[in-house]
């Protein structure tokens, strides 16, 4: 299947580069377009894709179109298409933009799937979810499942859960980068060189996440295995509780979810 990408920003580029690297898409079957010529050229050069001359040109030469345009610009762009869109699969990563809005813009019987990926797809560790529109087929869903599955974990969910997924895994990497940075700064505070502290912090987060994934144990159970009575870990955990780390992360997910909902209404 020939895949076109409209919008060559960070998220779309991360997803496509990861998929090409993992072999789920061949680079010579990818077309790209961005209103910023340098963005199109950069992505095309990085993966060996072709550059389309316009949105309509890209759609004409693609079987599936990955929409990586800002939510506030996506509907306007779709309504301005002159190329027939009914025979194509459209995959949107626009936060907050609902399936019914996409289908209305594309016309009757449009095949649409709404996706919320995240940037670790670039290194094969993405966490993605998708919801299919009324016109999307099982074959369409399988294509998206394979595309996203090649670069990490993927779930099919009801659309009503997509905003929450945006707040959790869509925005989540930024939260974790902040945690890694803070852990590394803590290491520097107590005497470690910056490069060593950053390496240890990043690997600690990666290792802890892998423990959750591989064991299937609840994080609280794994935490209790590390924290012994009167030990160093419980002292550190007490400091985290005092600083309300858990409540702050919960609030971050909620705030990002609310913002996704707001984008869908605007």
Whole-Å CA distances, 249 to 100, 175, 221? 31, 8, 19
Q: Say what the pLDDT of residue 83 is.
A: 62
Query: Residue 33: which of 63, 71, 3, 72 has the closest Cα?
Result: 3
Query: Helix, strand or coil for residue 1?
Result: coil
> Is 53 a residue whose pLDDT tops 80?
yes
Domains of the chain: 3-159 (3.40.50.720), 172-265 (1.10.3730.10)
220-248, pLDDT tens digit by residue? 999 999 999 999 999 999 999 999 999 99
More confident residue, 74 or 241: 241
Global pTM value: 0.88
CA 205/CA 201 separation, integer angstroms: 6
Q: What is the dihedral of CA 113, 114, 117, 121, to 10 degrees?
A: 20
Mean pLDDT for the stretch of residues 178-203: 98
> Is 40 a residue whose pLDDT tops 70?
yes
Q: How confident is the model at residue 49 (pLDDT cuts 50, 70, 90)?
A: very high
Q: What is the dihedral of CA 1, 59, 114, 45, to 10 degrees?
A: 70
Q: Say what the pLDDT of residue 99 is.
A: 93
Burial bucket for residue 45 (CB in 10 Å: 0-12, 13-18, 19+): exposed
Residues paired with 31 in a beta bridge = 4, 50
Q: Say what the pLDDT of residue 72 is.
A: 77
What are the E-state strand segments in the chain?
A: 3-6, 30-33, 50-51, 64-67, 89-92, 111-116, 126-132, 152-156
């Amino acid at each position: 299947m020939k895949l076109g990408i409209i919008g060559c920003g960070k998220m779309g580029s991360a997803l496509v580069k990861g998929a090409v690297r993992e072999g789920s898409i061949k680079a010579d079957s990818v077309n790209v377009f961005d209103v910023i010529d340098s963005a199109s050229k950069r992505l095309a050069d990085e993966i060996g894709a072709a550059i389309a001359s316009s949105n309509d040109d890209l759609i004409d030469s693609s079987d599936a179109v990955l929409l990586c345009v800002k939510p506030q610009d996506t509907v306007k762009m779709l309504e301005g298409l002159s190329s027939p869109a009914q025979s194509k699969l459209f995959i949107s990563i626009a936060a907050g933009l609902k399936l019914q809005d996409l289908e209305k813009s594309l016309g009757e019987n449009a095949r649409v799937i709404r996706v919320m990926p995240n940037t670790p797809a670039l290194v094969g560790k993405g966490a993605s979810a998708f919801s299919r529109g009324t016109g999307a087929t099982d074959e369409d869903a399988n294509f998206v499942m394979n595309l996203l599955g090649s670069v990490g974990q993927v779930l099919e969910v009801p659309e009503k859960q997509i905003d929450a997924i945006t707040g959790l895994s869509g925005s989540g990497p930024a939260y974790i980068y902040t945690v890694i940075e803070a852990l590394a700064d803590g290491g520097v505070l107590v005497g470690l060189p910056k490069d060593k502290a950053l390496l240890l912090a990043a690997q600690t987060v990666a290792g802890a996440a892998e423990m959750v994934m591989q064991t299937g144990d609840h994080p609280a159970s794994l935490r209790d295995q590390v924290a012994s009575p009167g030990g160093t870990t419980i002292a550190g955990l007490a400091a985290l509780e005092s600083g309300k780390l858990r409540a702050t992360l919960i609030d971050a997910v909620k705030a990002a979810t609310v913002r996704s909902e707001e984008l869908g209404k605007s």
